[in-house]
Amino acid sequence: MTNVMTVPYLDLRPQIRSLRPEIDAAIAQALDNCSFCLGPDVVKFEQDFARFCQAEHAIGFNSGTSALHVAMLLLNVGRGDEVITTPFTFVATSWAISYVGAKPVFVDIEDATFNLDPARIERAISPRTKAILPVHLYGHPCDLEPMLELGKRYGLKLVEDAAQAHGATYQGRGVGTFGTLGAFSFYPAKNMGACGEAGALVTNDPDLAARARTLREHGSKVRYYHDEIGFNYRMEGIQGAVLGVKLKYLAAWTARRRQIAERYHELLADTPLQLPREAGYAQSAWHLYVVRHARRNELKEYLEKQAIGSAIHYPLPLHLQKCYASLGYQQGDFPIAEKAASECLCLPIYPELTNEQVLHVASKVKSFFDGS
């Protein structure tokens, strides 16, 4: 019997294995210090991550979702307000808007990048619009310049959901600092993952940074004195220690992701698949490599039979989710997002994927279309 090559959709084990001595030492030190909630490792990571993003400030959180929630609070978005965002994203993007009692106003995406289409935003602006919340989906930066332009013209703030885009660049500069605030996630499956839950906000505004620190810690600057209603959204000390180790490797991991994407481009060029392409202004962090085809479900099943993992991010756009039924959107409201949801398929892409595995995935995709 021949050996069957398996390619998991995502395998976190090789990265952890290769970093075990360093991560073990960092965790051991955090344990010795008993710095479990925030503490010196989180402070150090915040400084390093701010430098990585070329931001003045980074504030550690216990998840990307809570970082986004606090971003909305920092901009004083609340009941009666509207925030424009994409229907084609992970639901945590719009949770931030819903958590503060505001209304997500969805705007369709660009077919080429899957990102919020700047050309459609203006029509959705109302007197109640407070902010624009675009997502750098799959690690590909969205077209920020026209959004910033609209923001200036209508007095709207821009918050970047950079949860999938660590190290991606727009016009040569890292994402996260174009808007007033940028939110990152360190969920284990993201481009840089904690050993648990974690997230961060970045900003160049010292007042927003200070208030973010207060809000994540029960609304208090001085312990047991609470200036406003706050949250327990602190980053754990152990996660700060782990992320401090991982940050040193992030640039190399991104470079490897870019290499794998290049390889897929070459190998899949003459298949009927629509391949992801970088826009002229963008260097993607390649969080996901997402191809499109009408027979997506069949292809996914076929790959599964060949022991190759793939995934659908995301099968149902947010405007059609049950939780948002009260917003009154209908099937057909955002045809580009709906079509993307029915056609997209994510192939395995992570730094530890071997060249042989990439070749194997591509050859099986080809044989699906060849019928061989």
Ligand X SMILES: *Cc1c(COP(=O)(O)O)cnc(C)c1O
Q: Which is nearer to ligand X, 161 or 362 (CB)?
A: 161
Give the burial class of 323: count Cβ atoms within 10 A of its Cβ; 0-12 exposed, 13-18 middle, 19 or more buried: exposed
Only segment of 90-98, 121-129, 295-303, 355-363 that touches ligand X (CB under 6 A): 90-98
Is the distance from CB of 201 to CB of 183 less than 8 angstroms?
Answer: yes
- Binding to ligand X in span 2-61, by CB under 6 A: none
How many Cβ atoms from other residues are within 10 Å of residue 190's Cβ? 20
- Binding to ligand X in span 144-203, by CB under 6 A: 161, 163-164, 185, 187, 197, 199
Q: What is the DSSP string of 291-306?
A: EE-TTHHHHHHHHHHT
Q: Is 63 in the site for ligand X (CB under 6 A)?
A: yes
Only segment of 63-71, 217-225, 271-279, 333-341 that touches ligand X (CB under 6 A): 63-71
Q: Is 90 in the site for ligand X (CB under 6 A)?
A: yes
Q: Shortest approach of ligand X to residue 69 CB, angstroms?
A: 9
Q: Shortest approach of ligand X to residue 185 CB, angstroms?
A: 3
Q: Shortest approach of ligand X to residue 271 CB, angstroms?
A: 27
Q: Is 314 in the site for ligand X (CB under 6 A)?
A: no
List the one residue out of 317, 340, 329 whose CA is nearest residue 88. Answer: 317
Q: Which is nearer to ligand X, 163 or 268 (CB)?
A: 163
Structure-token match 């090789």, residue found? 14
Distance (Å, rounded) from C-alpha 235 to C-alpha 13? 23
Return the bridge partners of 159, or none.
181
Distance (Å, rounded) from C-alpha 188 to C-alpha 194? 5
Dihedral angle at the C-alpha atoms of 312, 163, 238, 96, nearest 10 degrees? -100
Q: Which is nearer to ligand X, 89 or 180 (CB)?
A: 89
Q: How many CA atoms lie within 13 A of 66 on its CB side?
A: 23
Only segment of 27-35, 76-84, 85-93, 328-336 that touches ligand X (CB under 6 A): 85-93
Only segment of 84-92, 116-124, 222-230, 265-273 that touches ligand X (CB under 6 A): 84-92
Q: Which is nearer to ligand X, 82 or 161 (CB)?
A: 161
Is the distance from CB of 200 to CB of 186 less than 8 angstroms?
Answer: yes
Dihedral angle at the C-alpha atoms of 134, 314, 257, 5, nearest 10 degrees? 180
Residue among 71, 73, 92, 202 that touches ligand X (CB under 6 A): 92
Q: Is 118 in the site for ligand X (CB under 6 A)?
A: no
End-to-end CA distance of the chain: 20
Q: Shortest approach of ligand X to residue 272 CB, angstroms?
A: 28
Q: Is 236 in the site for ligand X (CB under 6 A)?
A: no
Residues binding ligand X: number (CB under 6 A): 15
Only segment of 62-70, 209-217, 224-232, 335-343 that touches ligand X (CB under 6 A): 62-70
Q: Which is nearer to ligand X, 140 or 293 (CB)?
A: 140
- Which alpha helices (DSSP H) does 75-143 contain, by range? 92-99
Q: Is 77 in the site for ligand X (CB under 6 A)?
A: no
Q: Is 134 in the site for ligand X (CB under 6 A)?
A: no
- Which alpha helices (DSSP H) does 102-142 contain, by range? none
The residues of the shown chain that bind ligand X, judged by CB under 6 A, are 63-65, 89-90, 92-93, 135, 161, 163-164, 185, 187, 197, 199
